């Protein structure tokens, strides 16, 4: 049986003005954003719509902003296309919280509160244990793994064939980038991030997130969510709680996640939220699959037309 999967983007998908058209057109989107300031503690609408991009790119603001925008996009989509059975969900890194919100594991305010705390914990860990990240393009996994063992860097995102992200202390990543180029990488791009996300340098953030997650009630997911840390479909609230903690200082297994969704019968992916980063990755994993997106009126109308 053919299935549809909804996937939600993470950090690095943000742009100034994201979600504005939905906010101005649909009450469901307006209500979500207008109800976000009390939980976030600052004017999210101003940051999302006016930036500047330098502010929007700071982890503390990026994560709540992307989560809220994805929730707006999902709310509008749901109003136009109620989810039938057989859907599955996934989100890349931060996007996992959007997927869990969509699956009914927690309500919007709880999700935003968790995302805000996650951003604070990651920012604090990044300040205490400074690091960076780099994308390695065109080098196979075994070679990148070997280079990381030699330099002390870590592979933290298995995004698609030939696209891996490494992280660690700045010198370790610089050394690994240099070795990767020497050994045939097509390109190595240092990422504009404030820390070594998903690496062991995030252990303190992971511990703090564990304490935070223990304070909230999580419900059983209404739809299976393929989780970052093991790429497996998960519905149990206790399993989800554990995996959200592991996610922070362990790699994102995105390529494996998409392959498992394909094996499960998925033939259409809808990226819901800002940008098309995940669409590009999925296309590299499986060229033949159908990929749609929902981030503005035009993409919403095109997606609904394709689904009918």
Active site members: 93, 198
Which residue spans within 191-230 are E strands per DSSP?
225-226
Pairing of strands 225-226, 233-234: antiparallel
> Which residues are registered as beta bridge partners of 163?
137, 160
What is the Cα–Cα distance from 88 to 103, expressed in whole angstroms? 9
Question: What would the DSSP string read from start to end of 3-23?
Answer: EEEEEE--TT---TTTTHHHH
The two tokens of residue 50 are 């006016």
What is the Cα–Cα distance from 76 to 23, expressed in whole angstroms? 10
What is the Cα–Cα distance from 157 to 130, expressed in whole angstroms? 18
What is the Cα–Cα distance from 191 to 171, expressed in whole angstroms? 14
Cα→Cα distances 130→5, 38, 58, 64, 226, Å = 36, 31, 15, 22, 30
The two tokens of residue 56 are 């929007």
Return the number of other C-beta atoms located less than 10 Å from residue 51's C-beta: 17
Place of tokens 């699959």: 289
Tell the burial category of 245 from Cβ atoms under 10 Å away from its Cβ (0-12, 13-18, 19+). Answer: buried
Tell the burial category of 239 from Cβ atoms under 10 Å away from its Cβ (0-12, 13-18, 19+). Answer: middle
């Amino acid at each position: 049986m053919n299935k549809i999967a909804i996937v939600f983007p993470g950090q690095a998908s943000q742009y100034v003005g994201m979600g504005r058209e939905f906010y101005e057109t649909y009450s469901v989107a307006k209500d979500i954003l207008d109800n976000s300031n009390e939980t976030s503690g600052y004017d999210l609408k101003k940051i999302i719509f006016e930036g500047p991009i330098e502010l929007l790119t700071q982890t503390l603001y990026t994560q709540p902003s992307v989560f809220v925008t994805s929730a707006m996009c999902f709310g509008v989509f749901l109003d136009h296309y109620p989810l039938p059975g057989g859907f599955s969900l996934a989100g890349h890194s931060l996007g996992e919280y959007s997927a869990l919100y969509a699956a009914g594991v927690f309500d919007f305010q709880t999700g935003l509160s968790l995302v805000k705390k996650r951003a604070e914990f990651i920012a604090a860990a990044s300040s205490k244990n400074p690091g960076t990240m780099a994308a390695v393009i065109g080098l196979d996994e075994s070679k990148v793994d070997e280079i990381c063992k030699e330099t002390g860097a870590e592979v933290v995102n298995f995004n698609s064939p030939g696209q891996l992200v490494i992280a660690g202390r700045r010198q370790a990543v610089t050394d690994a980038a240099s070795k990767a180029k020497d050994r045939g990488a097509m390109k190595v791009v240092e990422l504009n991030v404030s820390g070594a996300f998903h690496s062991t340098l995030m252990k303190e953030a992971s511990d703090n997130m564990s304490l935070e997650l223990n304070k909230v009630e999580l419900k059983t997911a209404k739809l299976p969510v393929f989780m970052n840390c093991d790429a497996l479909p998960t519905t149990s609230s206790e399993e989800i709680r554990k995996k959200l903690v592991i996610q922070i200082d362990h790699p994102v297994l995105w390529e494996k996640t998409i392959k498992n969704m394909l094996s499960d019968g998925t033939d259409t992916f809808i990226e819901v939220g800002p940008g098309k980063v995940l669409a590009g990755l999925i296309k590299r994993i499986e060229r033949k699959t159908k990929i749609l997106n929902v981030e503005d009126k035009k993409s919403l109308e095109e997606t609904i037309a394709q689904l009918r």
